[in-house]
Structure 1
Amino acid sequence: MTASPQHHSSRSTKRQVIIDTAERLFAEHGYDATSTARIATEAGVPSGLVFYHFATKLDLLLAVVQERPAPSEVLRSAARGRTVRQRLRAVVAKMAEELENDRAVRIIVFREAQGRPEIASRAAEMFADASATVADVLADADDVVADRARVQTAAELVVSRVFLDTVALGQLEPATKRHAAMIDLIVETLTSTPG
C-alpha cells in the first residue's frame, strides 16, 4: 500500500521542519549541546519522528549541511557585466548576500568541520565549487589577460575572504565597499600583462 500524495507531502514537510529546527539549534548552541529531544520539541514533532527520518543525530547534521543548493548557480547568475571589475563586484555582493542569508549553515560548517570529517569534506566541496565558479566567471570577462592559474588563485582569494568576513567576522558594511581594495588588486592582476 502506498501513501497518498498528501500524506507523503506531510511527511516531507515534517522532515523539513526537523531540518530547519536542527539548523537553528545547531547554529545557536552547537551540535554536541543540542539533543534530538530538544529538536523534536521545538519542531513540534514526536521524538521518534526525528529517528524515522534520520537514523542518527549525525545523519541529521549531514542533512542540514548537504541539503542546501550549491553556490555555483547562484554565483553564475549574478555575474553580469563584461569586465573583470563588473563581474567581481557582482559576485562579491551576491556571495556575501547568500552567506548572510544562509548564515546558520555556514556557522555550523565553520564550527563542526574541525572534528567531523564528513562536514570538513562538505566544506571543502563547497569551497571548491564556489572557487571554480568564480574562476569561470572571471575567466570569461572581456578584459582578462591572466592565465588560468592566476584566475583560479584570484577566485580562491575572493571566496576565502568573503566567507571569512561574512561568516567568521560578521561584517556589516556592504561587501563591495569593504572588499574594494581586494577588487582593485585582482582587477589589476588579471587585466595587466605581467612585466
Structure 2
Amino acid sequence: MARRSDQPATDNAARERILDAAEELFAGTGFDATPTAKIAAAAGTPKGLLFYYFPKKINILTTLFAERMPVAPLCDVDRVARHGDVVGSLRRLARGLDLGRHESVLLRTVLMREVDTHPEVRGHLRRLTDGLVELTESVLDAAAASPPDARRRRDAARTFVAVMLFDANNRRFDGRQPDLAAAARVVAAGLTGG
C-alpha cells in the first residue's frame, strides 16, 4: 500500500515507535517468540498501523537492519588512509567505523540471535561483512607503500574485519576487548609478508 502524501508527519513517529518496540522485544525474547500484537502494544499503536507499515513481521526485522545497521560503508577511505601508514590507517578505520557504538546493543543482539534461523538476517550480515572487507581492502590499497598482492590484501582485510566485529560483539557483554592496534600491526606485517 502506497503512503499518501497527505498523511500527517506523526505517522513517522508511530513507525519509529514500532521499530523501537520491535528491536527491544526481539532482543529480549527473539523474533519468533514475539507476536505482532505485543509489538503494537509496546509501541502504543493499533495493530493495523503496524501492518500498514510492515505487511509481514519479517519486514519489521529487515527494516531494522536496513535502516539501523546499514551495509553501506560508514567511513570515507580518503579520511582514514595515509599512504605509507598501514597501521595508522587501519586504526583510523576502526575508530571511524566504531562498530561497537554506531548500532544499538539491542540490534546487535538480534543480529547474533537470528543469524542462524532467518536467511534474511544471514544475508544482511554477509552483505555487511562483505562491505567492510571491501572498504578495508580499499584502505589497504591506499595506505600501502607499494601495491599489495591481491590475495594477501583480501586475507589481511578479512582478518582485520573479523577483529573489528569481534570487538563490536564483545561490547554487547562488556567483554574483554581485542587490542585493535596490535591487530593492525599484525595485519600490516602479514600484508607485506613481514
Shared fold by TM > 0.5? yes
- Worse overlay, 102-111 or 127-136: 102-111
- Measured against aligned partners, the alpha-carbon deviations of 1:14-69 in whole angstroms (never above 9, x if no partner) come to 21221122112212221122221221122111122111111111111111112233
Deviation larger for 40-49 or 129-138: 40-49
Shift of residue 173, structure 1, vs aligned partner? 8.2
Cα deviation for residue 91 of structure 1 reads 1.3
Q: Secondary structure at the match of 1:62?
A: helix
Q: Which has the higher helix share?
A: 1
TM-score by length of structure 1 reads 0.83
Per the alignment, do residues 67 and 173 of structure 1 end up closer, same or farther by CA in structure 2, a change over 3 Å counting?
Answer: same
Q: 1:26 to 1:112 in 2, by over 3 A?
A: same
Q: Please state how far the C-alpha of 1:80 moved relative to its aligned partner.
A: 4.5
Q: 1:112 to 1:129 in 2, by over 3 A?
A: same
User: What residue is the counterpart of 1:36 in the other structure?
Assistant: 36
Over aligned residue pairs, what C-alpha RMSD do you find?
Answer: 2.6
Q: 1:65, 1:122 within 8 Å by CA — same for their partners in 2? A: yes
What TM-score do the two structures reach when normalised by structure 2? 0.83
- Amino acid paired to 2:189: E
Partner of 1:126: 128
Q: Which amino acid aligns with 1:164?
A: F
TM-fit CA distance, 1:75 = 5.6
Tell me the distance in 1 between the aligned counterparts of 2:32 and 2:124.
Answer: 19
Q: Unaligned stretches of 5+ in structure 2?
A: none
Verify: 1:14 aligned to 2:7, yes or no. no
Report the alpha carbon displacement of residue 74 of structure 1 after superposing the two structures with TM. 2.6
Contact 1:139 1:148 in 2 (8 A): no
Partner residue in 2 for 1:111: 113
Question: Which stretch of structure 1 is more off in the superposition, 148-157 or 24-33?
Answer: 24-33
Measure the CA separation in 2 of the matches of 1:39 and 1:130. 32
Describe the shift of the 1:71–1:173 C-alpha distance in structure 2 as closer, same or farther (beyond 3 A): farther
2:30 is aligned with what amino acid?
G
Contact map agreement 2:77 2:135 (CA 8 A) in 1: yes
- Quickly say closer, same or farther: Cα 1:71–1:36, change in 2 above 3 A: same
Provide structure 1 residue ranges, at least 5 long, that are not aligned to the other structure.
Answer: none
Deviant stretches of 4+, over 6 Å: none
- Structure 1 contact 71–126 (Cα < 8 Å) conserved: yes
Q: Given that residues 79 and 90 in structure 1 are in contact (C-alpha distance below 8 angstroms), is that contact kept between their aligned partners in structure 2?
A: yes
Alignment of 1:148-187 (within 5 A): 148-168=150-170, 170=172, 172=174, 178-187=179-188
Q: Does the C-alpha gap of structure 1 residues 173 and 77 become closer, same or farther in structure 2, counting only changes over 3 Å?
A: farther
Secondary structure in 2 aligned to 1:61? helix
Q: How far, CA to CA, are the matches of 2:146 and 2:112 in structure 1?
A: 33
- Measure, in 2, the Cα distance between the counterparts of 1:164 and 1:121: 19
Would the alpha carbon gap of residues 160 and 142 (structure 1) be closer, same or farther in structure 2, given more than 3 Å must change? closer
SS at match of 1:72: coil
